[in-house]
Amino acid sequence: MKKNQNNEILDPQQTVCDNFHEWIQKEMKQYDPVMVQMTVLGQTLKIIKSIMPAKDYDGMMDTVYQSKDRIEPFKKHLLH
């Protein structure tokens, strides 16, 4: 297992997530955040559709659509 200078275990998946998050934050400073997030969502769906059997993909999309009214926005915390 790889460790960094602070003796923390380096998880490759977490590293990918951290790097992706950092990239998204940078892009949202330069471009409209909604456009950036919708582009990421669109690309994600294309990848998933490319690798999943059609029945599984359709089932996933049906589940997402059926739960659309239960999805709540993030609540922004106010700083006083």
Centroid of chain to Cα 49:
16
For residue 9, what are the β-bridge partners? 3
Residue 1 pLDDT exceeds 90: no
CA angle 51, 69, 39 (to 5 degrees): 45
User: What are 17's two structure tokens?
Assistant: 């997530």
- Residue range 18-77, pLDDT digits in tens: 899 999 999 999 999 999 999 999 999 999 999 999 999 999 999 999 999 998 988 877
Higher per-residue confidence, 36 vs 10:
36
Q: Which amino acid is at 72?
A: E
DSSP reduced 3-state for 23 = helix
**pTM for the full predicted model:** 0.67
Contacts of 51 (CB under 8 A, 6+ apart): none
